[in-house]
Amino acid sequence: MKKLISAVVPCYNEEESLPYFYEEICKVAKDMDYVNFEFLFINDGSKDRTLDILRDLASKDKRVRYVSFSRNFGKEAGMYAGLKEAKGDFICIMDADLQDPPTLLPEMYDAIVKEGYDSAATRRVSRKGEPPIRSFFARLFYRLINKISKADIVDGARDFRLMSRQMVDAIVGMAEYNRFSKGIFGWVGFNTKWIAFHNVERVAGETKWSFWKLFKYSIEGIVAFSTFPLSLSFIFGILFCILGIIFIVVRTLIWGDATSGWPSLVCIMFLISGVQLCCLGIMGEYLSKTYLETKKRPIYIIKETEKDIK
């Protein structure tokens, strides 16, 4: 019997790219006639005609399924919903803007079926068409998070990957509220083959990620996969104690007790209180995540699916 591949596609205001995407994925599905396909679109509270297009596609093509959220829950929630709802033996996550070329699918499928990997993931080897400052911070982030966590995140890794049912079940089992999929994929383990490709610019529409959004997302990644920042305050504390004692003792021994030195005193006070506030901030970040996690709120809310129209 033919195996089933589910293509999970999170969409947020993608009315312009969806027709191109559908055309492209259909071509690939035709070439890969040795497997069956299911296209599972996640409408993440789009404000444009995305949902209308999805309804239309679903009524014409029985391979098309969709899940529509009650509001915008973010791409992470979209991917989680997709993995949870997908029925395939193999599941692939891909963007709607064709930045994840569907033409790589046959190679990814072979990596799992013929070469025995559990997942085939993709990474960009170039960041053509991206602002240099964004690339710089992205590199910095990858270096940092790999140093301080077990998540094993590859620089330039996309969310575009094909996974076995077993791996997807493991990921769906991680129902944490603060999701950082790039870390989760690495954390669950399994053998992954990395396929490199050159960056492709989006086919239509605009990116949904501002620099600020990406920055917040990177903090999310660090907080979700590393507790190292929490130990920073301890390290700072010890360091300052030693520094303080040496400073006071050595200074007094050499120069005696001087009433001068008021500026340096104020500087030190500012420095130390600054560090204390920083540490409090770090604690607050973890506390807020714990708080949200304990509420056990749903990761997404479904308003409509293709079953409502079929």
Contacting positions for ligand UDP (CB under 6 A):
10-12, 14, 44, 72, 74-75, 78, 95-97, 99, 202, 207-209
Pick the closer one to ligand UDP by CB: 29 or 42: 42
Shortest CB 200 distance to Mg ion, Å: 9
Which of Mg ion, ligand UDP, none interacts with 16 (beta carbon under 5 to 8 A by kind)?
none
Shortest CB 147 distance to Mg ion, Å: 27
Tell me if residue 3 falls in helix, strand or coil. strand
Give the C-alpha separation, 50 to 14, whole Å: 6
Q: x/- contact string, 42-81, with Mg ion (CB under 5 A)?
A: ----------------------------------------
Nearest to 233 by CA among 283, 267, 269, 270: 283
Pick the closer one to ligand UDP by CB: 207 or 227: 207
Residue-wise DSSP of 127-174:
-TTS-HHHHHHHHHHHHHHHHH-S----TTEEEEEEEEHHHHHHHHT-
Residues numbered 94-113 forming contacts with Mg ion, rule: CB under 5 A: 95, 97, 99
Pick the closer one to Mg ion by CB: 55 or 158: 158
Residue 122 makes contact with Mg ion by CB under 5 A: no
Distant-in-sequence, close-in-space partners of 153: CB < 8 Å, separation ≥ 6? 142, 145, 146, 182, 183, 186, 221
Which of ligand UDP, Mg ion, none interacts with 100 (beta carbon under 5 to 8 A by kind)?
none
Pick the closer one to ligand UDP by CB: 96 or 163: 96
Residue with tokens 């929490």: 230
With beta carbons less than 8 A apart as the criterion, state whether 86 and 51 touch.
Answer: no
Shortest CB 253 distance to ligand UDP, Å: 58
Which of ligand UDP, Mg ion, none interacts with 96 (beta carbon under 5 to 8 A by kind)?
ligand UDP
Cα of 78 vs its chain's centroid, Å: 11
Residues numbered 186-215 forming contacts with Mg ion, rule: CB under 5 A: 202
HEC assignment per residue over 231-292: HHHHHHHHHHHHHHHHHHHHHHHHHCCCCCCHHHHHHHHHHHHHHHHHHHHHHHHHHHHHHH
Pick the closer one to ligand UDP by CB: 122 or 279: 122
Pick the closer one to ligand UDP by CB: 165 or 208: 208
Give the C-alpha separation, 256 to 117, whole Å: 70
**Binding footprint of Mg ion on the chain (CB under 5 A):** 95, 97, 99, 202
